[in-house]
Amino acid sequence: MAAPLSAGALVRALRAEGVRVVEHDGWRTNNRNHKGAWGPVHGVMIHHTVTSGTAATVRLCSEGHSSLPGPLCHGVIAKDGTVHLVGNGRANHAGSGDDEVLRAVIAESAGLPAPNENNTDGNARFYGFECVNLGDGKDPWPAAQLEAVEAVSAALCRAHRWSAHSVIGHKEWTNTKIDPRGFSMAALRDRVASRLGGTAPAPPPRPMVDLSRLVAAARTDPSAPGTPVTYSGVRTVERALVAEGLLAARYADGHYGTQTVSAYAAWQRRCGYTGADADGVPGITTLRRLGAEHGFTVRA
């Protein structure tokens, strides 16, 4: 049993495990929390999508469809192993399943009972990851994708101090589903257990943002002709603002222009600043808070 990870903690856990992560616009606030509980969480559930194509699948899993609103998972695992984050909170992925299975997952039992009832809300209790695959038994599972499934599962188990027995397939939760089809969940759990038993991969170095250079860009870029990039660290900050839903992705170009000024001012207001204190020019407190949430450090 555990409280769900924050969006920032989830991203850090995945990247520390070596996962390639793409954060899609608005994913941090995309959830179904108004429809039911989110947490405590007990495990990770793996699915296949019955779709092809990364972009279309990511859009579907983020938005849902007429009979099932999105998000339909927390992340989409593409064929190339990239994990696309689309939801944070309750997601429509697990549906109803067997309470005996949930008890076995909570106990981290070596064996799961066969599901024969659908009497328990799984959307409240499991992280969900959809893997791009047609689920017809013929669509291949590339090595990069399977490695990402393993790494995602291990990352969450490591973050919550769970064993590999906390990783299940949708078909192990309910007798109404067959996913994931094309690889063995038992073999996946063996690989996750082996990974957890070894040394965790060294996390990638955290980007460094120099406050003085960022402030200089914020003061000079908006009035400069064209869209000059005067400091490369601007992109790091802009990507964080995109992830917060404050800046459109097309403006994460390294130019601290008027759109970035407006987005950072919105971040300052979110941090409690008002009036002239929310002018879109970064300060040490708000920048460090943004960095703590999005994985970069700040040099004053």
Residues of the chain within CATH 3.40.80.10 domain(s) are 7-197
| pLDDT, average across residues 136-153 | 95
CA dihedral 220, 226, 231, 233 (to 10 degrees): 110
The secondary structure element, H or E, covering residue 274 is none
The CATH architecture annotation of domain 7-197 reads 3-Layer(aba) Sandwich (3.40)
Per-residue pLDDT of 146-202, as tens digits, reads: 999 999 999 999 999 999 999 999 999 999 999 999 999 999 999 999 999 976 566
Give the relative orientation of helices 258-270 and 233-243 as an angle to the nearest 10 degrees.
Answer: 60
Q: What is the mean pLDDT of the chain?
A: 94
Q: What is the pTM of this model?
A: 0.73
Q: Is the pLDDT of residue 243 over 80?
A: no
- The pLDDT, as a whole number, for residue 200 is 55
Per-residue pLDDT of 184-199, as tens digits, reads: 999 999 999 999 997 6
Helix, strand, coil percent values for the chain (each to nearest 5)? 40, 15, 45
Please choose, from the candidates 128, 141, 25, 27, the residue with its C-alpha nearest in 3D space to the C-alpha of residue 87.
27
- The pLDDT, as a whole number, for residue 206 is 82
Helix (H, G, I), strand (E, B) or coil at 11: helix
